[in-house]
Amino acid sequence: MFSRSLAILIAPWLPTAALILSLGPAHTASDLIAGTLAVVLSGFALVSRRIGFAVSVVAAWVALTAFIFPSTLVEEVIAISWATAMFACMAGPFSEPARVYRVASPPAASVPSDGRLPLAA
């Protein structure tokens, strides 16, 4: 649950980087659309685990765009590092909420009527 909250903070970095840095037109458009979609979905990911996987799919798309579109080293680093962070936060091992398991205790050992415990042999 903590990592999904952390993803809400990381998600706006991609559209912000697309606006601040001079990226190519294909990467700018892809980063703005995918980043905005990831920001909206990561807010809803606190409610449903399935939406977290949808954000992971968006992050996988962003990681693939570094290899699909012609890109510079800066564009590849931004896309892959953001996508890796989002994927790890949304589908990683710490994105699962904490669970409490309750196990029935074994039946109590029978105590003799005189109140003494049996001695080991």
* CA angle at 71 for the pair 35 and 65, rounded to the nearest 5°: 45
Residue 34, token pair as written in the block: 């995918």
The rounded mean pLDDT for the chain is 82
Q: pLDDT-derived band of residue 96, with 50, 70 and 90 as boundaries?
A: low
Task: Report pLDDT for 9.
Answer: 85
Q: pLDDT-derived band of residue 117, with 50, 70 and 90 as boundaries?
A: low
Name the more confident of 11 and 112.
11
Measured CA to CA, the distance from residue 96 to residue 118 in angstroms comes to: 46
- Which residues, other chains included, contact 51 with Cβ-Cβ below 8 Å and sequence gap of 6+? 41, 44, 45
